Structure 1
Amino acid sequence: MRKSDHLLARFFIFTFGLLIMSLGIVLIIVSDFGASPWDVLHVGLYYQLGLSIGTWSVIVGFAILGASGIMMREWPKLGAYLNMILVGLYIDMLMMLPFLTEPQGWMGKIIMFIVGMIIYSYGMGMYLSAELGAGPRDSFMLALTAKTKWKVSNARRFMEVVVLIMGWLLGGPVFIGTIVFSLAVGTFIGIALPQCRTLTNKWVYKKSEIQMMEEIKRGASL
């Protein structure tokens, strides 16, 4: 595969992964079982200052991206900025879909929430595997991991708890699912990311089976 074909394939994986991740975000919000910590913050800002949830996702993203750049002492990749804008647009677009409505019973809420978490994690793993630049929150997660030498799962849990407190103080929608997301999302991502990287490498880069097995082993330690 030519280098230009590699880039095109990676761009497709990147943008499709962002769409999948955004769908997971929206499912979690609509489930009414408790928004993810970042979305507790976005919704809280929406409640207090107006605009839209997607718009606040972009605005907060700019601030987080700046912090990541300072920590790593380098400019984030172009994909990080594209990530920030597309996720905001995708969230607002998906929130308008008429068939994505809040489930009536508790079982439906729980199922939608869990499905949303799974979709979110694999969407993130998919776009990160394209290696076109992590988004603002994920850039910060990776920067924190690099600086502290923590596992990805531990760094993500720390971020989620801090943001949760901020969003709660702003009046964001905190419920049981919010706590579950904060504690479990790092593990979900730790499982999804190496799997997505392996599939991307197999499709785009045609890496050998030995190289892919090494990546799977590294992912198991996340």
Structure 2
Amino acid sequence: MMTLKQWRWIFFIVGQMILSLGIAMTIKGQLLGIGPWDVLHVGLYQNIGLSIGSWSILTGLLIVLITAAAQKKWPKYGTWLNMLLLGTFIDLFNWLLPDVTSIAAQVVFFVTGVVIMSYGIGLYVSPNMGAGPRDSLMLLIVHKFNISVKLVRTSIEVIVALLGWALGGPVGIGTVLIALLIGQFVHYAMPQCQRLLLKVAKQENSEVLL
């Protein structure tokens, strides 16, 4: 019988895989636009090379170093794993998924990808193994300057999307939809994932996750 710790690791890693699958699906359906950070990663890929996943890792590493220097402490190991696994799995699914050209197929890929991303976030966050680099940056700014999470998150994503757009990344209505709606989907997905974790680990209260 697996322990709670083992289940937490399974949820964390599987969540990264599902989140990456959702991101890759929105990239395949990029006619509508993609998430703000992915706009930047695609723009860097188009101008410099490497791969989209590699740029996800490199920008994540830069953010980790900035937040670690500002906080004078290294983040949890889950943050490092998030950075590495997400970029690796994005490249894997970008390679595995077929390219789609029709508008209908791109819409299906995009919408399905957004829902899958939400549950991926819910799965990897529910075991509380450490926030991703970009969420860590957001929390750092919130605590340093006493600004609302909503304002900080929106500001960061607008700046990142503009940088990616300047590099030729695919910005569209989908970019706006992801920025506005992903939080709403995660709001419903996360409690479901937490209950699932408690159920499979046969725990009776959520305090074990704190």
- Counterpart position of 2:180: 183
- Counterpart position of 1:219: none
User: Which ranges of structure 1 fall in alignment gaps of 5 or more residues?
Assistant: 213-222
The Cα offsets for residues 101-144 of structure 1, whole Å up to 9 and x where unpaired, read as 22512x33222211111111110111011211122122223444
CA distance in 1, matches of 2:49, 2:55: 9
CA distance in 2, matches of 1:48, 1:145: 32
Alignment of 1:128-167 (within 5 A): 128-147=125-144, 148=146, 150-151=148-149, 155-167=152-164
- Say if 2:170 is the partner of 1:173: yes
Distance 1:158-1:206 versus aligned 2 partners, 3 A rule: farther
- Counterpart position of 2:198: 201
Distance 1:74-1:185 versus aligned 2 partners, 3 A rule: same
Normalising by structure 1, we get a TM-score of 0.82
User: Does the Cα contact within 8 Å between 2:7 and 2:197 map onto a contact in 1?
Assistant: no
Alignment of 1:1-222 (within 5 A): 5-32=3-30, 33-97=32-96, 99-105=97-103, 107-147=104-144, 148=146, 150-151=148-149, 155-204=152-201, 206-208=203-205
Post-superposition offset of 1:69: 2.8
Post-superposition offset of 1:159: 2.6
Post-superposition offset of 1:73: 4.4
SS, match of residue 115 in structure 1: helix
User: Which ranges of structure 2 fall in alignment gaps of 5 or more residues?
Assistant: none
User: Does the Cα contact within 8 Å between 1:154 and 1:186 map onto a contact in 2?
Assistant: no
Deviation beyond 4 Å, 4+ runs, structure 1:
70-73, 144-147
CA distance in 1, matches of 2:198, 2:152: 25
User: Does the Cα contact within 8 Å between 2:126 and 2:193 map onto a contact in 1?
Assistant: yes
Post-superposition offset of 1:145: 4.8
For 1:141, the aligned partner's letter is M
- RMSD of aligned residue pairs (Cα, Å): 2.4
CA distance in 1, matches of 2:27, 2:140: 27
Moved more, 172-181 or 71-80: 71-80
The Cα offsets for residues 136-176 of structure 1, whole Å up to 9 and x where unpaired, read as 1222234445554635x554333322211111111111122
For 1:75, the aligned partner's letter is W
| Identity within the alignment, % | 41
Post-superposition offset of 1:196: 2.1
Could you say which structure has the greater relative contact order, defined with CA pairs below 8 angstroms and 6 or more residues apart? Answer: 2
The number of residues matched between the two structures is 206
Post-superposition offset of 1:31: 0.7
